[in-house]
Structure 1
Amino acid sequence: MGIEAINPFELPLLNTVLLLSRGTLYGLVATVFLALVFTGLQAVEYKFSTFSISDGAFGSCFYFATGFHGLTNVALFIYLFITFLIKPTDPLDTTDPTDPTDPPLLLERFSESLESSILY
């Protein structure tokens, strides 16, 4: 019996490709779409995994790290979607969309650093 590990070359690889490609795409709509796809694929990964949060340290760490990342991804989606709705109607907004102190970027960096410290 025991825990059966998820094959890293299936859905996790696709999720990684989506995350890496998200940084190279231009446009808010593409980023929002990829955030939705990533969150949906993460839900599929949860549904078909053969272990649960109560299966020891691995299950706890896996669901904590990926769940926190999913939560920040949903928060980022909501923020970007609201930005997408407001941005065209605010002609006086002169903020730089690539500003490294932008709240969604800070949220994503915090999420990634927390995951790295937990998993490695």
Structure 2
Amino acid sequence: MNSDNSAAARLAALFLELLASQFPVDSSLYSLKLKTPSDYAQELAVHVNHLNRAVRTATGKTTSQHITEKLISEAILLLSNTRHNVAEIAYCLGFQYPTYFNTFFKKQTGVNPLAYRS
């Protein structure tokens, strides 16, 4: 059982390292390549269920929660520290349409991106 926990911890660490390597987003021309838990699982050559279980065991949070938290923190940084418009930020963070980003941001923070920026 102990080796299962250490394997889960190693896989979770690899996931978190891969997640962190995508940030910060430096250019409005760059869009995130890995957006979903399955993208990360494919990159790590494991099944998405195995990745989810390992990350949840090691951190207490799901892969989706980690991705969401990282996207929100990066969005807040971009809104606060750049002059990029919301559409550019949405594209940088891997959203196909700015409205999807607006909905995502408002659901997570309770305020839309333009209101946050003000």
Q: TM-score, length-normalised on structure 2?
A: 0.35
Q: Which has the larger radius of gyration?
A: 1
Q: TM-score, length-normalised on structure 1?
A: 0.35
